Structure 1
Amino acid sequence: MNQKERRAARGLQIVAVCCCFCLLAVGAGVTYRAMDRGKAGGSETLQKEQPVTAVQSKTIEIAQAEQQREVEKTKEIKETKEAKETKAQPARKNGQPVFAAPLEGEMKVVLGYSTDHAIYDPTLEQYRTNASVSLSAKQGTEVKAAADGVVKEVKKDAQAGNLVRIAHGEDWLTTYGQLADAVAVKEGESVKQGQRIGTVAAPTKYGVALGEHLIFAMEQNGEPQNPMEKMKTAE
């Protein structure tokens, strides 16, 4: 091979090496751009997915909060209902309310309870049955509710004067007669055992011979009961 041919061969080698370097450079550039796009794409994907995850988390939190509120609301309704039922029902023993005396101190009966036989009424000067008891008490003496209940009636009666009727649940009723005009309760009002409902007044003409007194009566399901047998000292 002469000198001219050797130069031509060397030139071709140089060209081939340069082409190789160019191809390597191009390949590296393509690879770098692909990797960069991949990173950018991955970042965009994460950015797109992140809000979705946050929204889902927020939705779950809202749902849990609403569920908790429903549970608390249901519990509150139940407790309120139970409280009303407890308030409406007096304390009971052996199926009946525990009644306290409507007057403080020792009580003197001036006209007793008697529904099975007639007893003498000194005011009317005759024998008759009596579905209540008349308890001696001076004017101004406080009269108290015998048990928890709801005031069913407040009215003025010709024979019993001002009277108050209190319902104790659905089955029991107490009546307080010969009260002063300034009655301390009104119809529909809830009262507690021992709460002041009024004071004793002067007797009407139908009970004047008994002196100053309180008329006290009890009923169970509309049937008269002897108050002296049902009353218990409030503990």
Structure 2
Amino acid sequence: MKNKLVKLFKENGFLLFLFVCVCVVSASTIFILTKDVDNPKDNKQLVVLEDQTKEELGKYKDSEDDLIEASKKADTQVNQKKEEEEQDQDQDQDTEKEDVDLEKEDSTKNPQQVETKTEAKTQHSNTVYAAEASFILPLDGEIITEFTTDSLVYSKTLDEWRAHTGIDIKGKIGEKVKASKDGTVKEVYEDPLWGNVIVIEHNDGLLTKYANLGTKDMVKVGVKVKRGDHIGTIGKTADIEMLMEPHLHFEVIKNGKNIDPRSIK
């Protein structure tokens, strides 16, 4: 038996050696693979990595959910604001429509009352305008001598300082002079100092005096005049102011006292 084994090893020794090597390699491979699978440390690392990945994915998902929720809230707020603006516009339109309907209803029910209100407004406007324009200066021009009673002005003609109870309005010879206010011609005369003079009486205790006129024949005593009517022209007849350039000497007397013509409204 022993001889047979020896003979077998001699004849097939190489094959047996190869078989043993294959078995050793196979066993080593199986051991290594089994060790890797069963190693708890590696398994723990795999579990930790898996948990971290899940946690990060969860964070991304939460962030995405937050963004979606914020976008929904913003859309809701915009829609609510649009609805509120549309409601306000509808209310304004309804209010305007109601006002128009009420005006139409009032005019239909009582047209005379509406017409009376319109006439009253027109009359009020006309009254205000008339009050504002009831007095005008008789000439459009530069005032070259001011009204003074408590101070003196120098007179070239008289070569002295004296009070000036009216205003001198610069103009051209022959330029038309207008009535400053509605009234009646009270006096028309020729004064040795002031030349041709016209005095108009008004219904409020007021007198207006126009001197240094070129003629006194345009109006007569007792004639009623309206504000703006032409009553004379500028002349060179006032000897007391003969050295001055052509002008109208204009005075206003209130209850017997001279006042500044520009103080009349």
Q: Which residue of 1 aligns with 2:197?
A: 163
Q: Please say if 1:201 is aligned against 2:210.
A: no
Shift of 1:139: 0.6
Cα pair 1:143 1:198 within 8 Å, conserved: yes
Cα pair 1:111 1:121 within 8 Å, conserved: no
Q: Which residue of 2 aligns with 1:217?
A: 251
Q: Cα RMSD over matched residues? A: 1.7
2:235 is paired with a residue of what secondary structure? coil
Cα pair 2:188 2:216 within 8 Å, conserved: no
Identify the match of residue 166 of structure 2 among 105, 125, 132.
132
Written as runs of structure 1 = structure 2, the 5 A alignment for 1:25-40 is none
Written as runs of structure 1 = structure 2, the 5 A alignment for 1:43-192 is 92=131, 98-104=134-140, 107-192=141-226
Which structure has more helix as a fraction of its residues? 2
Aligned AA for 1:140? Answer: G
Of all paired residues, the percent bearing the same amino acid is: 34
Instruction: Classify 1:203/1:109 alpha carbon distance in 2 versus 1 (closer, same or farther; 3 Å).
Output: farther
Cα pair 1:115 1:130 within 8 Å, conserved: yes
Which structure has more strand as a fraction of its residues? 1
Cα pair 1:131 1:225 within 8 Å, conserved: yes
CA distance in 1, matches of 2:177, 2:191: 17
**Aligned residues between the structures:** 136
CA distance in 1, matches of 2:215, 2:231: 11
2:263 is paired with a residue of what secondary structure? helix
Shift of 1:182: 4.7
Aligned AA for 2:135? Answer: F
CA distance in 1, matches of 2:244, 2:138: 18
Cα pair 2:178 2:228 within 8 Å, conserved: yes
Cα pair 2:197 2:216 within 8 Å, conserved: no
Question: Runs of 4+ in structure 1 displaced over 4 angstroms?
Answer: none
CA distance in 2, matches of 1:135, 1:218: 14
Shift of 1:98: 2.9
Cα pair 1:139 1:200 within 8 Å, conserved: yes
In structure 2, runs of 5+ residues without a counterpart are: 1-129
1:10-69 alpha-carbon deviations (Å, 9 max, x no partner): xxxxxxxxxxxxxxxxxxxxxxxxxxxxxxxxxxxxxxxxxxxxxxxxxxxxxxxxxxxx
Instruction: Classify 1:182/1:221 alpha carbon distance in 2 versus 1 (closer, same or farther; 3 Å).
Output: closer
CA distance in 1, matches of 2:216, 2:185: 15
In structure 1, runs of 5+ residues without a counterpart are: 1-90
Higher relative contact order (CA 8 A, sep 6+): 1
